[in-house]
Amino acid sequence: MAAATTTVVHRPRTLVSAWLFLSSFVVAWDVGYILLRPRSMFGGDLHWLWSPYSLYMNVDYIYGLPSWDTKDGFPAAQSLMNVGESIINLFYIYLVHVKATQASLAVAPIWGLIAVIMTLSKTILYVLNDYCCGWCKTGHNDWYTLFVYWILPNGLWILFPSIIAYVFVQEISTTLKVAAGVQGVSHSTFAHPNSSQFSPVISAAISANGNGKREAGKANNSSLKDGSNPYLVHHSQLPSWAQDNAWIVKGYRRPGGTTQEARLKEFDHSTVYKCWRSVWAYWHNETVNVHTHLWGAVFSIVLSTSHLLQHLNLLPSWVRPFSHHPIFYPSSLTFTTVTGKVLRLASASYPGFANQLISQRPLTTTSQSLIGKALSLLSSTSASSSSFSIPSKLTNLAVRSPDTLDVAGFAAFFIGSVICLGFSSTYHAIQCHSQSISKKFNKLDYVGIVVMIVGSFLPALHYGFYCHPHYQLAYSLAISSLGTLAMYVVLAPTYATPAYRPYRTAVFLVLGLSAVVPVAHVVNLYGYRTITETMGLRFLILSGALYVIGACLYAARVPERFAPGKFDMVGASHQIFHVLILAAAAAHYISIRRAYAFWHTVEVIGSEGGKAGVCAALQG
C-alpha cells in the first residue's frame, strides 16, 4: 500500500519580506537621528541627513529639544531595541531568500514572528509612553498635524506588523498541528494559482507501489526542487532560449509553453497575468530585478510630478523643504554660510525669513569664494554705486524661473529614467512568458538603457556649457547620434543572441564613457575645483563610476561565477547592476540639481548682466 510522507514548507511572501526589508532601513535612519543628537538636530552639522526631522521634532517632543534637554533616556533605549529588531528582520530575509534550505525555511517563521512582535510591542510602548504622561509629547498639535504626522504613521506601524504576526502565527500553528498528526494535509492549499489566502504552503509527496502513482510522485518532486514551489525550476530545466546565466542555478519561473503535462501547465507562466502575479505572489530570481526598477520608475514619476507642481507654483508648502535640501546646492552655496541660507530660503519662497537673516548679518563682496568673485565683477560693471552690497540686492531677491531649456533638460532626464526603469521592470516581469515575448521585451529593455543615457547627457551638457551654446549644441547632437547608433545595434536581430552579450555591454559602456570627453572639456575651460564647487562634478563622476562598475560586474557575472547557486535569489550581478543604476541615477540627479541651483541663484543677482558676469568670473 502507499506510504505517505508529509513535508511542511514555509513559502516566503514578497510583501512580508518587502515590509521587513524597507522598515529596517527606515528604523536605521531613525536610530541614526536619535543616537547622533544633537549633531543630527536642526542646526547640527549632520542635520542635512535628517532634514525632515526639523518638522517632526516640533510635532513629537520626544524627537525635539524638550526630550534632549531633560535627558530623557526613552528614545535612546528604544533605538537600541530598534537595532536588534532590524538585525532579526534581515536575518529572516537571509533565511528565506539567501540560504533558502529546508532547515532554514522551517525556522524562518519563528524569527519573522519575533521581529514583528518586537515592532508591534515597541510601537505600542511608544504610544503608551505619551499617553501615560498626559500626551505631554504630542498634545500641543492641532488635529490635522497630529493625524497626518503621528496617528497615521504609528497606526500603520501597528496595523502592518499585526497582520504579519497573524500570518506567522497561523502558519506556525498549522505546521505544529500537521506535525502532531491532528490536522490532515489538503492539496488545495498547495500554492494554487488562484489562492489568495494566507495559509502555509504544505506539500505531501506521496510515493506508491503502482507505477502510475510512482511516476506522479517523481514528477511532483521534480517540480518542487526550489523551496517546494512548483512555479520554479532549475537552470537545467529551462529551454535553450531561456538559458542565459548558468551560474544562477535555481529560482527560475517555469516558462510558458514548455510543459506538456496537463498537471503542470497550471504552474507555467503562459499568460501576462501569471507573469505579473509572480512579481507579488512568491520570491524568484527576478524578484529583486523587477522591484528595484519598478519602484525606481514610480519614484521618478513622483519626482517629476513634484518638479511640475513647483513650476506651476502648486507644490505644497510642507514639501518645499525636501525640494530645497542642502544636498541639492553646490558647495559654493554652502549650508553653513549666510549667503547659502539666504539664497536657498529665497528659492524655497520664504522671503520674510530671508530678509530677517540679511538684516541680522549683512554681507559684502569681500569674500574670496567664486560667488564673491562673481559678485565683485557684477558690482563693478553695474550702473549702481561701487559700494554694492548683497542686502540691497537680496531684499527683493526673486530666483529666476526655469526657462524652456531647463524644463526640456529635466524632462529629458525624467522621461529617460521612467522609460529605462519601466521597460526594465516590465521585461524582467514578463520574460518567462514565451520566447517571442522575451525577445521583444528584451529589445525594449536595451532601448530604455540608451534613452536613459542620452536623457541624462542633455541636462548635464546644458549646465556644463551654459556659457557656450555652440558647445551645447555640438555635444547634444553628438550624443544623440551615438544613441541612435547604439539603438540600431541593440535592435538588430544579428546582435540579439546570447553570443553577442559582451558586445552589447561594450556598446553601453562606450556610450556611457563618451561623457569623459565633454567633462574633460568643461574642466579644461573652468578648472576642476571651480566646476566641483558650482556644478556638482563629483556627483557626476560618481554617477559614471557606478554605471561602469555595474556594467562590468554584469558582463563578468560576478559574484555568482565564484559561488554558483549562492546568489540565485539575492546578490547576483544583474541585481547589483540594477541597484547601482538607481544609485547612479540619483547621483546624476543631484549633480544637475546643483548646477541648476548655481545658475538660478547666482545669475539673478546681477540682473540683466548676471549670466555674462558669472561666465566671465568662471573663466577669470
Residues annotated in a binding site: 428, 574, 578
CA dist 487 and 494 (Å) reads 13
Task: List the one residue out of 466, 453, 448 whose CA is nearest residue 413.
Answer: 453
Which phi-psi region, left, alpha or beta, contains residue 434 (left: φ > 0; alpha: ψ -120 to 50)?
A: beta
How many whole angstroms separate alpha carbon 262 and alpha carbon 281?
22
What span, in angstroms and rounded, lies between the C-alpha atoms of 513 and 544?
8
Q: Are 169 and 78 in contact (CB under 8 A)?
A: no
Alpha-carbon gap, residue 543 to 515, rounded angstroms: 11
296: exposed, middle or buried (Cβ count in 10 Å: 0-12, 13-18, 19+): buried
**Residues whose CB falls within 8 Å of the CB of residue 119, separated by 6 or more in sequence, listed in order:** 23, 85, 157, 161
User: Cα–Cα distance between 428 and 438 in angstroms, integer?
Assistant: 9
- The Cα 155–Cα 83 span in angstroms is 21
Sign of torsion, CA 153 156 162 166? negative
Residue 133 CB burial class (10 angstroms; 0-12, 13-18, ≥19)? exposed
Burial of 335 (0-12, 13-18, 19+ CB in 10 A): middle
* Alpha carbons 167 and 13: distance in angstroms, whole number: 10
Query: Is there a cis peptide before residue 391, judged by omega within 30 degrees of 0?
Result: no
The contacts of residue 134 (CB under 8 Å, 6+ apart) are none
Annotated binding-site residue numbers for Zn(2+): 428, 574, 578
* CA atoms of 143 and 151, how far apart (whole Å): 10
* Residue 181: Cβ within 10 Å count: 8
Decide: 578 and 292 in contact? Cβ < 8 Å. Answer: yes
User: 154: buried, middle or exposed (CB in 10 Å: 19+, 13-18, 0-12)?
Assistant: middle
Dist. CA 455–CA 461, nearest whole Å: 10
Exposure string for 425-456, b = 16+ CB within 10 A, e = fewer: bbbbbbbbbbbebbeebbbbbbbbbbbbbbbb
Instruction: Determine whether 617 is exposed, middle or buried from the number of CB atoms within 10 Å of its CB (0-12, 13-18, 19+).
Output: buried
**Among candidate residues 81, 44, 72, the one with its CA nearest the CA of residue 137:** 72
State how far the Cα of 463 lies from the Cα of 603, in Å rounded to an integer. Answer: 13
d(CA 103, CA 69): 49
